[in-house]
Structure 1
Amino acid sequence: KVGEELIKTGIAEKNKIHRIYNGINLDDFSKLNESSRTNSREKFNIRNDETVIGTLSRLVPDKGLKDLIKGFALTHESNSKTKLIIAGGGPLKDELVTLTEKLKIKDSVIFIGWQNDVPQTLSLFDIFCLPTLREGFGYVFLEAQAAGVPVIATGISPLTETMQDGESAILVSTHSPEEISTAIQKILDDESLRIRLRENGLKNVRERFNQKNQLDEIVKLYNSLLIRAGFALAPGVCRVSYMHSEEI
């Protein structure tokens, strides 16, 4: 979308734009297993028979957290063995707590503040949901996928570009607690859907947003520019590599 805007405004020509997405360091998620998940759940007193819908976000209006809480409340009416965990901090917290009290779900919503270990925190969740109203890139959605957690997001740019609705995530409308609740219930009721979202989410991150691939792309682009400019063949000119420069 940024590239399209650059072309539209005349800032850049189409043939001079090379898109490279942000990447996830998958090594950060490689140590997650059932044991780490169990430890995380025990830390916050989550029972084995409880399902956790979770989010990790700044607590600000743009993140759609009131919609998330309302959507969770609708789900909780018919599924009392659900918990909502909200990780993060921000100026909206008091309003969010008040909303949980108003909806009579305060005991089922846990605010855990900012957590240093993002992969470990995400391993707490059975479903990740963040109905954001606007997003720069949506790094946290890809982190959730890297943690093997089914994702519910909003169908806004750039999320429609980084995730495929019904395959690697479920995308809902903004300001729609009803759609959020329906998506949560659909994932809870359909094991094959849970498996598909989990597997395709992991595949999405590994194939399209693996940090190593992104670094490879950057190095490849820089070296192609050097060659195009006629410098790469000159004695003593350095070719870009991962950790250092090499004379060629």
Structure 2
Amino acid sequence: GVDNKRAARESIGLPKDKVLIGTISRLATQKGHCYLFEAFKILKARVPGLSLVIAGDGPLKDELAELVRSLGIADDVIFLGARRDVSSILKALDLYVLPSLWEGLPMALLEAMATSLPVVATRVSGVPEVIEDDVSGMLVEAKDAKAFAAAMERVLVDSALAQRLGKSARETIEERFSATAMVNSMAELYLEVLEQNNVA
């Protein structure tokens, strides 16, 4: 609970008294950081005490740092660089965000959901297959900073909603991506293949 979150924040050197929104991904165009920063600027004007945590490295590093400065949000955006301690970062957060323009099925998203974090994500590629809008997370159209800000605000101002989304996110992962579920679906797949080849 609260103690775990505090310990995780201390171990990474993150502010203890802020509401932390975060994402873990390469700093590349497809990941949509620029729209997240615009959304965060809108959100910051409405909700006090927020910081945005960006974990990852990539070709846009300098460009994104410059964008953050020009938007006037540099004091509240923390670039962690490339990190291996993903589970500690996730434990430190209050809200996980995925602003991607296109995406496969990002491991960090599944890990965030497994950590019971509420998630706001873009409705792209494989994401709607794991997140049901308003049930196991909030889905927004890609490149829509205003809608992304509104979805983040909804989750942050309504702790019951945040809890419900986080709980449902974890249940989704347990049902669909746990080792047992994976083994069962692999077994089904093998049986199908065997049947098609008339081996079974």
- Per the normalisation by structure 1, the TM-score is 0.75
Match 1:169 to one of 130, 137, 140? 137
1:140 corresponds in structure 2 to 108
Deviates more, 1:214-223 or 1:147-156: 214-223
1:89 deviates by 0.5
1:96 deviates by 0.8
C-alpha change, 1:47 and 1:116, in structure 2 (3 Å) is: closer
1:88 deviates by 0.4
Question: 2:38 & 2:192 partners in 1: Cα distance?
Answer: 51
Would you say 1:160 and 2:120 are equivalent positions? no
Question: 1:185 & 1:113 partners in 2: Cα distance?
Answer: 26
Question: 1:109 & 1:37 partners in 2: Cα distance?
Answer: 19
Identity %: 34
Question: 2:59 & 2:35 partners in 1: Cα distance?
Answer: 17
CA RMSD between the two structures: 1.9
1:188 corresponds in structure 2 to 156
1:128 corresponds in structure 2 to 96
2:46 corresponds in structure 1 to 78
2:31 corresponds in structure 1 to 63
Where do 5+ consecutive residues of structure 2 fail to align?
none
Contact map agreement 1:36 1:120 (CA 8 A) in 2: no
1:112 deviates by 0.5
Matches within 5 A, 1:1-248: 34-223=2-191, 225-226=193-194, 229=197, 231=199
| CA deviation map 1:26-71 (0-9, x unaligned) | xxxxxxx544422221234444431000000010000100001111
Deviates more, 1:132-141 or 1:172-181: 132-141
Q: Which amino acid aligns with 2:35?
A: D
- Indicate the SS of the match to 1:217: helix
- Indicate the SS of the match to 2:27: coil
Larger radius of gyration: 1
Contact map agreement 2:10 2:16 (CA 8 A) in 1: no
Where do 5+ consecutive residues of structure 1 fail to align?
1-32, 233-248
- Counting helix residues as a fraction of each chain, which structure ranks higher? 2
- Indicate the SS of the match to 2:80: strand
Contact map agreement 1:150 1:201 (CA 8 A) in 2: yes
- Per the normalisation by structure 2, the TM-score is 0.91
Q: Which amino acid aligns with 2:145?
A: P
Aligned residues: 200
